[in-house]
Structure 1
Amino acid sequence: MAEPAGITEDDSPVVPVFFLSDSTGISAETMGNALLIQFPDTRFERTLFPFITTVEEARRVVAILDEAMEGPVTPLVFTTAADDTVRAELARTKAPIIDFFDIHMSRVEQILGLRGLHEAARLHGVGDIRSYNNRMAAVEFTIEHDDGQSVRSLEKADVILIAPSRCGKTPTSMYLALQHGLFVANYPLVDEDLEQADLPGLLRSHEERCVGLTTTVERLSRIRNERRPSSRYASVEQCRWELRRAGELYAAHRVPVIDSSSRSVEEMATLIVQIVTKNRKKAQT
């Protein structure tokens, strides 16, 4: 017999969650998930409705939300819609809404004694063309310098991530470029590099901008086995040796180290931004 909607096989409720936005929805998801993560034993079914830019689109979403209200579990609705007409239409839903824009914007306006623009796409759009172009240039640089593919203009890198293969260099690099506008290069430490006492030659003149990533032997072996099952590359012995040698290199050259086994990409990026900021301040003194 089919399970009732909103109930899993173990009878724990699944809470429908909707993220609404008149832009990309990144802000709604980020702020909403920051709250949901505080409920680790609750299961959520997430749905994103981005680019709700007209009253008609808002009405269509409201119909979906009202239908969800007829289910066994009350849904959660997070919205960051900035356009007043869209927000007013979304507010007609029977579902309870957590309106981040209204909560925070009204308070900011009260403190400043000014009214904000209430325009969509100001944060993740191209409203600040210089910032947007910088981020796109950072993304292009980071793609070109992924996994040691290029050493051209390496001196332009804000940070160089180094680590054995599959320690999280690429996703972290791309996040730093897209979200923080950093020019990031990443370099894989292969056996030949790890057998040496010094950093690879092309990194020696950029040592102060290197950040090392590491992980656990078990996690690295598991990830590598998904790519190359039962290979030497994925063996516990090989992973243990690579991580040990990488750790010794980091220590010998005082390279800051971040463990990717217990941190999200966002957390790692935040730590790296702090390192980059510290290095920039040191260079200015």
Structure 2
Amino acid sequence: MTRQKRTVFYLSDRTGITAETLGHSLLAQFDGIEWEKINVPFLGDSVKAQVVAEQINRAAERDGHRPLVFSTLLKPDILGVIRQANCRVYDFFETFVSSIEEELHQPFARIAGRSHGLQHRLSYFKRMAAINYVLAHDDGVNPGNFTEADIILMGVSRTGKTPTCLYLALQYGIAAANYPLTQEDMSVIRLPKALEPVRNELFGLTLGATQLHFIRQERRPDSQYASLAQCQREIQWQESLFQLFRIPYLDTTYISIEEISAIILDRSGLKRQLYG
């Protein structure tokens, strides 16, 4: 089956994070399309907008379909230039602002960068502190400071502990440490001594042995560490450990890091520290 090829543009007068995130969430619901994604942040003047409009027209001619444009542009004149191109524009502000203005009896401020700026300085500093904590307590480093963690992720090598910790810090301001379960730990079914004082903050990450085998093969091809048999032994051992000590854990085989993080927050009862 031939996949349809289409182009999507994410346009913003600031970083483009909002346009890309919302647009991606919508397009993820449509199968069988190969998307060429073009991000254009900091689109702040009509001259640059005209260049982008010409790029959109070329994409339409090449694809045989008009591109989709997801926009969080605030200046009407710049958005007007884009609308003249051969594309379908989805303006997120236009979609929602009128009804919100009506409900709140207040006009839209039209100030760029508020959603990702430094207006909420307390949230900003909490985010930085959480990221610094993650970096200083990655891979079992400084376990004496684990009592300061909001949560401690544990699991065997390559189960996604570090990226999940970083995402929790960046998106939610959560101070997350992580501890790797090693071959030496497998000699017995008990918690490593470093984790005994912080048992209530532990959360396990696991995944299917086949997926773990695939991930480890990328790192150390054809090694004992990456063998399917070794992966099966380690996964079986760690899940027995989680169950014995009643440590909540999550199988991450088929879910994204965004979902992993959201589930961890929900199941652990942690509250996000970043707002606005």
Match of 2:59 in 1: 68
Q: Shift of the alpha carbon at 1:40?
A: 2.3
Q: Tell me, yes or no, if structure 1 residue 187 matches structure 2 residue 175.
A: no
Match of 1:6 in 2: none
Q: Tell me, yes or no, if structure 1 residue 105 matches structure 2 residue 97.
A: yes
1:108 partner letter: I
Percent pairwise identity? 37
Select 1:94's aligned residue among 76, 86, 106. 86
Q: Tell me, yes or no, if structure 1 residue 271 matches structure 2 residue 263.
A: yes
Q: Are residues 76 and 244 of structure 1, via their aligned partners in 2, closer, same or farther at CA, if it must alter by over 3 Å? A: same
Q: Which runs of 5+ in 1 are unaligned?
A: 1-9, 281-285
- 8 Å contact kept, 1:139–1:177: yes
In 2: Cα distance, 1:113 partner to 1:67 partner:
42
- 8 Å contact kept, 1:83–1:120: no
Q: Shift of the alpha carbon at 1:228?
A: 0.6
Match of 2:122 in 1: 130
How many residues align? The count is 270
In 2: Cα distance, 1:136 partner to 1:89 partner:
38
In 2: Cα distance, 1:134 partner to 1:124 partner:
14
In 2: Cα distance, 1:130 partner to 1:279 partner:
18
Question: Structure 1 stretches (4+) deviating beyond 4 angstroms?
Answer: none
- 8 Å contact kept, 1:135–1:180: yes
1:202-221 alignment, distance < 5 Å? 202-221=194-213
Match of 1:37 in 2: 28
Q: Shift of the alpha carbon at 1:94?
A: 3.0
Q: Tell me, yes or no, if structure 1 residue 22 matches structure 2 residue 24.
A: no
- 8 Å contact kept, 2:204–2:248: yes
- 8 Å contact kept, 2:4–2:32: no
1:153 partner letter: N
Q: Shift of the alpha carbon at 1:152?
A: 4.7
In 2: Cα distance, 1:234 partner to 1:141 partner:
30
In 2: Cα distance, 1:270 partner to 1:83 partner:
34
Q: Shift of the alpha carbon at 1:53?
A: 2.5
- Between 84-93 and 135-144, the greater mean CA deviation after superposition: 84-93
Q: RMSD value over aligned CA atoms?
A: 1.7
- Between 193-202 and 77-86, the greater mean CA deviation after superposition: 77-86
- Between 44-53 and 218-227, the greater mean CA deviation after superposition: 44-53
SS of the residue aligned with 1:161?
A: strand
TM-score (norm 2): 0.91
1:46 partner letter: K
Q: Which runs of 5+ in 2 are unaligned?
A: 272-276
In 1: Cα distance, 2:116 partner to 2:10 partner:
16
Greater RCO, CA 8 A, separation 6+: 2
2:150 partner letter: D
In 1: Cα distance, 2:224 partner to 2:35 partner:
39
TM-score (norm 1): 0.89
